Amino acid sequence: MNDNNKPGGNGSPPNNDFKLFMRIIIFSLIVTFGMHLLSTSMVSKMNQEIKYSEFIQMVKDDEVSQVEIQSDRILIYPKPKDNTPYIGNYYYTGYIKDDNLLPLLDEHNVDYSSPVQENSIFMLFIMEWVLPICLWGLLFMFLGRFLMKKMGGGGIMGVGKSNAKIYMQKETGVTFADVAGQDEAKESLEEIIDFLHNPAKYAAIGAKQPRGALLVGPPGTGKTLLAKAVAGEANVTFMSLTGSDFVEMFVGVGASRVRDLFKQAQENAPCIVFIDEIDAIGKSRDNAINGGGNDEREQTLNQLLSEMDGFDSSKAVVVLAATNRPEVLDKALLRPGRFDRRIIVEKPDLIGREKILQVHAAKVKLGNDVDFKKIALATSGAVGADLANMVNEAALRAVRMGRSEVLQEDLMEAVEVVIAGKEKKDRIMSEKEKRIVAFHEVGHALAAAKQKNTQPVQKITIVPRTMGALGYTMQMPEEEHYLMTRDEIISEIVVLLAGRSAEEVEFGLVTTGASNDIERASQLARSMISQYGMSETFDMMALESVQNRYLDGRAVSNCGDITMAQLDQEVLAIIKECHAKAVEIISDNKKALVKISEYLIEKETITGEEFMDILKECDEPQETPENSTEEAITDNKEENS
């Protein structure tokens, strides 16, 4: 089903390439060495060199039977003699032009000859030079290609050829039913599907068909999935490519890939061409930050623009692209006739999350107690990819627990794993550290419970997690909010600062454990003033603006130094006010703080209900300990105070 279209024969995994490469090197070395040995041994086996005068003397002494005169040397074959301890076949000596030599040889009846040498010199030349050079040349060519492939490109040999890794699927097998929520996005895509079904209808009226649409949204919200679903719904071929596939070392390669892509698309029409992460090539061309010019990217982009304008409009080809950084895209890409349609794929809301959970849980055996609404409530801000992951984690946990179905507790645990990491059961904390963490967490919980405008506590735990939390307090909203009031933000900051405040109130010391709380609190306070217009001083002035709202949402300042300094002062004032408020809440509820913390240290994890029960008891005027847990807690308290 998957037609992985990869011309260029780069199918073998790199490991095999490497083995082949090593073999060629070894083979070349052996051949070169062998040739050399062979050729030298042809000239002189293990023979002995003698002086010319010695040679003449040997002739005169009648010790020579035969002489071979070569261009540069004379080989002397001695007469066999019993008492000479000589092993070689002949002696040799350098050639000296000597007119007396031949008469002398004649005189002593020595045979002499001179070999016809052209042939052997030629052979020698071939064997000693041409062959090894060819071999080494081959080797280097191979090496070059090998490295090119390592660097992920088509290589010098592939310039201009189609090497694009186009991923082509005749049937994606994905339909809109697989994409939960995202109803607005689906609605916008319906028209494209209709066009792919029936291009003639549009042509008859003279309507210009949609050329392309840009799917915009944070990572993991289902953009790629939607694009596949469009192809699935329309029942057309799906061709996809990632923006970075176009970006090559060599100028012009990207552009030629774009050409190839559109050529193939027209051959396969009707089809959908999907360019994922188009920001890799579609970055604005006049961007000073990028140092002005990247020729290669610019050419690729230009080619893309002209292909989108130029391709045969009677062919039903629709180009979809996805990005999570629409703000960096070149304006020319967004102009009518290109990616003029922008389809926002937002993070799912409460209902959307519930639907996504249902879609992914369809293949999973569920217990009766599973309540997706609760999970959806606890996962505000999670995207489709997170939720899919959570369902899978829950199923894995159920298997680990030896169950045959997934229960609500598996899902809740999976939520925590995705948010905070896995439990680190083997981390051993000292009793003292455990106490500090427990008081810290209960501090958060108390601040949440004692203020209006806050989310109820769901769970408190001091079991450390892999993502750095030593413990945490989980709050869960009763319903989803789209707006936050100033009071709600202030309350949230107080809750964040209450962890550290509890450490201060109980132990009179501060630890490093609050850094994440502090960061988040400061960020909230800053946003209140710089983005949400919630301060008297700056009224509704925007001091910061969010750069890429689909990624980290980092805010960038757009005001001067003095204003910034003032902003910092305002932030500090809010933090101080909230800190004081947190300390006040903790001090007022010191009894509950101690009691709940002791209980938490004993149990390690407590639910929101347990927390509220103890809190209510403490709030009642008279204290009548009834059950054994109560007593244990009171005992502990006395020990520690």
Catalytic residues: 441
Touching Mg ion, residues 471-530 (CB under 5 A): none
Q: How many residues bind ligand ADP (CB under 6 A)?
A: 17
> Should residue 221 be labelled a site residue for Mg ion when binding is judged by CB under 5 A?
no
Give the residue, chosen from 35, 59, 179, 462, that forms a contact with ligand ADP under the rule CB under 6 A: 179
Instruction: Tell me how far, at minimum, the Cβ of 491 lies from Zn ion, in Å.
Output: 15
Q: Given 3-state DSSP classes, what are the helix, strand and coil percentages for the chain, each rounded to the nearest 5?
A: 55, 15, 35
Phi, psi of 583 (to 5 degrees): -60, -40
Q: Which segment (112-120, 178-186, 400-408, 631-639) binds ligand ADP by CB under 6 A? A: 178-186
Which entry of Mg ion, Zn ion, ligand ADP, none binds 220, CB below 5 to 8 A by partner kind? ligand ADP
Per CB under 6 A, the list member of 14, 34, 144, 219 interacting with ligand ADP is: 219
Q: How far is the CB of 145 from ligand ADP (least distance, A)?
A: 33
Of 498, 409, 512, give the one whose Cα is nearest residue 458: 409
Query: CB under 5 to 8 A by kind: which of ligand ADP, Zn ion, Mg ion, none does 553 bind?
Result: none
Question: How near is the Cβ of 215 to ligand ADP at its closest, in Å?
Answer: 7
**Of Mg ion, Zn ion, ligand ADP, none, which one sits near residue 273, judging by CB under 5 to 8 A according to partner kind?**
none
- One-letter-per-residue 3-state SS of 124-193: HHHHHHHHHHHHHHHHHHHHHHHHHHHCCCCCHHHCCCCCCCEEEECCCCCCHHHCCCCHHHHHHHHHHH
Tell me phi and psi for residue 460, to 5 degrees.
-125, 135
Pairing of strands 212-216, 48-49: unpaired
Tell me which residue of 390, 372, 381 sits closest to 349, measured CA to CA. Answer: 381
> 459 to each of 374, 471, 472, 474, how far by Cα in Å?
13, 11, 8, 5
- Residue 411 CA to chain centroid, in angstroms? 27
393 lies in the binding site for Zn ion (CB under 5 A): no
Here the tokens at position 587 are 């001090």
- Asked whether position 614 contacts ligand ADP by CB under 6 A, the answer is no
* Alpha carbon 344 to its chain's center: 23
Q: What residues from 510 to 539 belong to the interface with Zn ion (CB under 5 A)?
A: 517
377 touches 349 (CB < 8 A): no
Instruction: Name the 3-class secondary structure at 100.
Output: coil
Q: Which of 212, 222, 232, 254 binds ligand ADP (CB under 6 A)?
A: 222
Is there a cis peptide before residue 270, judged by omega within 30 degrees of 0? yes
CA distance 442 to 602: 13
Which range of residues in 4-12, 141-149, 259-267, 382-390 is near ligand ADP by CB under 6 A?
382-390
Q: Which two tokens stand for residue 206?
A: 């003279």
Out of 110, 180, 318, 411, name the contact with ligand ADP by CB under 6 A.
180
**Nearest to Mg ion of 324, 454 (CB atom):** 324
Question: Could you identify the residue written with the tokens 């501090």?
Answer: 443
By CB under 6 A, tell whether 223 contacts ligand ADP: yes
Contact window for ligand ADP (CB under 6 A) among 195-203, 219-227, 434-442, 471-479: 219-227
Token reading at 251: 């100028």
Find which of Mg ion, Zn ion, ligand ADP, none residue 410 binds, CB within 5 to 8 Å per kind: none
End-to-end CA distance of the chain, in Å? 71
Helix 253-267 to helix 295-310 angle (10° resolution) is 20
Indicate which of Mg ion, ligand ADP, Zn ion, none lies near residue 517 (CB less than 5 to 8 Å, by partner kind). Zn ion
CB of 222 to ligand ADP, least distance (A): 3
Q: Is 127 in the site for ligand ADP (CB under 6 A)?
A: no
Q: From ligand ADP, Zn ion, Mg ion, none, which one binds at residue 499 (CB under 5 to 8 Å depending on kind)?
A: Zn ion
Could you tell me the smallest distance in angstroms from the CB atom of residue 320 to ligand ADP?
Answer: 11
- Per CB under 5 A, 499 contacts Zn ion: yes
Site for Mg ion contains 242 (CB under 5 A): no
Residue among 221, 264, 451, 455 that touches ligand ADP (CB under 6 A): 221
Out of 278, 333, 359, 633, point to the residue binding ligand ADP (CB under 6 A): 359
Segment interacting with Zn ion (CB under 5 A) among 65-73, 491-499, 579-587, 628-636: 491-499
CA distances from 496 to 139, 486, 492 (A): 64, 15, 6
225 binds ligand ADP per the rule CB under 6 A: yes
Distance, in Å, from the CA atom of 30 to the CA atom of 352, rounded to the nearest integer, reads: 67
Region of 95-103, 146-154, 179-187, 471-479 interacting with ligand ADP (CB under 6 A): 179-187
Smallest separation (angstroms) from Zn ion to the CB of 514? 6
Q: Does 224 bind Mg ion (CB under 5 A)?
A: yes
564 forms part of the interface with ligand ADP (CB under 6 A) = no
Nearer Cβ to Mg ion, position 222 or 513?
A: 222
Residues 6+ apart with CB under 8 A from 227: 215, 238, 240, 272, 274, 276, 320, 322
Q: Strand 212-216 to strand 341-344: parallel, antiparallel, or no bridges (unpaired)?
A: parallel
User: Measured between alpha carbons, how far is 20 from 7 in angstroms, rounded to an integer?
Assistant: 21
Q: Does 193 engage in binding with ligand ADP (CB under 6 A)?
A: no
User: Is residue 3 within 8 Å of residue 168, measured between CB atoms?
Assistant: yes
Binding test (CB under 6 A) with ligand ADP, winner from 254, 282, 384, 608 = 384
Give the total of residues touching Zn ion (CB under 5 A). Answer: 2
Nearer to Mg ion, 241 or 395 (CB): 241
Distances (CA, A) of 47 to 33, 65, 89, 608: 20, 16, 7, 99
Q: What residue 495 binds from ligand ADP, Mg ion, Zn ion, none (CB within 5 to 8 A, per partner kind)?
A: none
Q: Which does 464 bind (CB under 5 to 8 A by kind): Zn ion, ligand ADP, Mg ion, none?
A: none
CB of 487 to ligand ADP, least distance (A): 33
3-state secondary structure 206-238: CCCCCCEEEEECCCCCCHHHHHHHHHHHHCCEE
DSSP string, 25-62: HHHHHHHHHHHHHHHHHHH-SS-EE--HHHHHHHHHTT
- What amino acid is encoded at 19 in this protein? K
Rule CB under 6 A: say whether 169 interacts with ligand ADP. Answer: no
For the CB of residue 334, give the shortest distance to ligand ADP in the complex, in Å: 19
The span of 116-124, 217-225, 227-235, 603-611 binding Mg ion (CB under 5 A) equals: 217-225
Query: Binding residues for Mg ion, how many (CB under 5 A)?
Result: 1
- Per rule CB under 6 A, is residue 181 in the interface with ligand ADP? yes
Q: At closest approach, how far in Å is the CB of 323 from ligand ADP?
A: 10
Structure tokens at 409: 């507790």
Question: What residues make contact with ligand ADP under the rule CB under 6 A?
Answer: 179-182, 219-225, 322, 356, 359, 384-385, 388
Question: What residues make contact with Mg ion under the rule CB under 5 A?
Answer: 224
Question: What residues make contact with Zn ion under the rule CB under 5 A?
Answer: 499, 517
